[in-house]
Amino acid sequence: MSAALQAPALDALRPPAAAGAIAPPEAGLTPQEMLRRATAMRSTLRERQAETEAAGRILDRTNEQFIEAGFYRVVQPRRFGGHEFDLTTYVKVMSEVARGCPSSGWVLALTSGHPIILADHPEQAQIEAYGNDGQYRCPSVGSPIPVQVVPGGYLVSGCWDYASGCDVATHIMASGLVPQDGGPPKPVLMLIDRKDFTIIDNWQVLGMQGTGSRRVAVDQLFVPAHRVAPLAMWGGVSAARVHANPMYNGRKAGFFMIEGGAVLMGSARGMLDLYDELLRAKPMRFAAKTKLMEHHEFQHYFGVAQALLDNADAALLKAAQDYMDACTAQAEHGIEFPEVEDRRIFLMVQQAARLAFEAVDRIFTTAGTQSGQTASMLGRYYRDIAVQRTHFTQQMDRTAVNFARLHFGFAPLSPF
């Protein structure tokens, strides 16, 4: 099976009456059309940035447009009403949305990408998650908390921070620690319905305010055993294997990094768009009749930023393809998808992010002091990207050491 094989061809590999089957709302939708829709929304999303930031969450009308456009179904299995496009399509669509609004793009990317994480859960959990209509928007939250083993499942009380998109979610996937006799607790990921968790507003930050990455909490919640899967970010391939497409059955850390990388690249492109507009409109300080775009100094700044972002984009798309290839090689030829390869992909996206960071720093520091004003859109992009840089997955030096240790036959020093 080729990694480029798309959903219609994969239909022939599925049972004709698979349990929980849902017809996709637009059976003939193509990756090209989905990308066109994302690009067409860019200006609208830019216009809504300030309102989204003030609301502290993705706007309802933006969410409805994402649903109508099919964005949440981009990598959702076709069996469950999704489009099952490949990861390069996912990256391009998420980047285009984030180019218009980083906060809205973050929510979209970290909910629409999680069908790939859900694929590790038992089939019954997936059937329940997608329901009758295939509506599935599911943040995933880390920092696992202890859970209690009870007959038929688990009992959990506690909370998790940073549930991006919880306001529009249909579910969350929350991490827990299951006690083990004579050993450390086992980390797991629990599928929880929207009706079973509450939202606590504790998200007041410098940037990415519009993501609504609030705290979610549960109290004495029973989670059935079939709604729990191992949380093995660097673990082996999926044991569930509910889907024929190899994309769903690989390791998950590299994909997790690709999700955030797509948003960061789009956010940086959004800054370059604004810089382009600024250079065309703003005069030189000491030569009033000369626009910045006419001066060699700013031509150099713009050209270098363009090169940095083009290379960052290329690396991100290469990482997405390498991930698809590794999943396919394991499924078709039995070639192991090893942890060192997953960490290499993770590292590749982190380096792409560093290139993007370099570009946006150059843009912000040469755009003039007005870009630092509170209401500046260019400043908002910069603040959003600065907060994205703080994510624990962006700490490249740690990943570089752990990749090298695995390469040379040593155990990694940390999970990330």
pLDDT beyond 60 at 145:
yes
Q: Domain locations in the chain?
A: 7-11+19-130, 140-230, 250-407
Helices of type H across 133-219: none
Helices of type H across 236-295: 253-281
Average pLDDT, the chain: 92
Among 44, 51, 32, smallest CA distance to 93 is for 32
CATH architecture, domain defined by 250-407: Up-down Bundle (1.20)
Task: Provide the CATH number for the domain formed by 140-230 in this structure.
Answer: 2.40.110.10
Mean pLDDT of 80-94: 97
- Which CATH superfamily does the domain covering 7-11+19-130 fall into? Acyl-CoA dehydrogenase/oxidase, N-terminal domain (1.10.540.10)
For the entire predicted model, the pTM comes to 0.92
* Residue pair 112/139 in contact by the 8 Å Cβ criterion: no
CA torsion, ordered 41, 47, 52, 58, to nearest 10 deg: -10
- Helical axes 87-100 vs 253-281, angle rounded to 10°: 40
pLDDT at 183: 86
Mean pLDDT of 191-207: 96
Mean pLDDT of 61-85: 97
Least confident of 171-175, 210-214, 235-239, 387-391: 235-239
pLDDT at 234: 57
Which has the higher per-residue pLDDT, 17 or 193?
193
pLDDT at 394: 86
